[in-house]
Amino acid sequence: MNVPVFSHSACLAHDTGPTHAECPARLTAVTAGLRETWPDLEWREAPRASRGQLLRVHSESLLHAVLETKPHERIWLDPDTILSPASAEAGLRAAGAVVAAVELVLNGEAKRAFCAVRPPGHHATCSAAMGFCLFNSIAVGAAHALDKFGLSRIAIADFDVHHGNGTQAIFDLEPRVVFASSHQMPLYPDSGHVSERGINNIFNAPLQPGAGSAQFRETWRTRLLPHLDAFRPQLVMISAGFDAHRRDPLAQLQLEAEDFEWITRELVAIADRHADGRIVSSLEGGYDLQGLRESVIAHVGALRG
């Protein structure tokens, strides 16, 4: 199956400094791995997200902080999140990639699309950049699907090792969106408890440090996938973080690339049953270059079928 990949060179120019885990080499590893594995892969240039698209989920104050600060050197927005001279453009392209992927899929030009972009997005809330994230790209894309295309049921699956607190906060009162997340706990950002249910549209499944393939798969099979399936989504969106891989330096789960292939196949099956196969996936975390490369290849391979 054709799975176009949206990316942009501006995402490489987001300069987080020589020791930061969320570095340009991450995206280089991803794109090189995809190009070498599938030389015929279709690549598309990510456009910029528009101000109006961002304002569907973000405040004017956040847009001002990211887009109007215009720093001459790296500055810290919080203890983890950096704004460099090129960061605003990277954030616009990352969010724009997801919007363009949504357009592509919902217009029937492709069934599935992957966004190979940085910075990641799922920690960004309505009003705050945080956790390496400037704009919440997956939320911007989901809001675009709701508002422009009139969808009434979108499922967001997040298997990043860190809880997608920003996505949850943006949609926890939105009945047209179901959010399901597995994540390590305790771990940054210290959210994602089972008790956090929104309006019965939020489903969190924390995993203890050291949890491996069996626990991950059982958790999704019994606790998360049934909720997504019952929602009968018209579009499946994936916050595709790969920092639950056993090699990752920022967490302690013990997953393999094959586990990301497995969960992707399960999400494909739900999309095939309810959404005419439509999936938009966007890169989130993953900080060991080898583990990230292998996991993204497994993920996109499962999207391609």
Q: What is the DSSP string of 226-239?
A: HHHHHH--SEEEEE
Distance of alpha carbon 154 from alpha carbon 75, whole angstroms: 36
**Active-site position among 123, 162, 245, 299:** 123
Name the pairing type of β-strands 82-83 and 75-76. antiparallel
How is the beta sheet containing 202-207 ordered, strand by strand?
A: 43-45, 5-7, 112-115, 279-283, 235-240, 154-158, 177-184, 202-207
- 3-class SS at 72? coil
123 is catalytic: yes
SS3 111: coil
Spatial contact of 302 and 265, defined as CB atoms under 8 Å apart:
yes
Spatial separation of the C-alpha atoms in residues 106 and 100, rounded to whole Å: 10
Q: Closest by alpha carbon to 280, among 90, 105, 92? A: 105
Cβ–Cβ under 8 Å, residues 15 and 84:
yes
Radius of gyration of the chain from Cα atoms?
17
Active site residues: 123
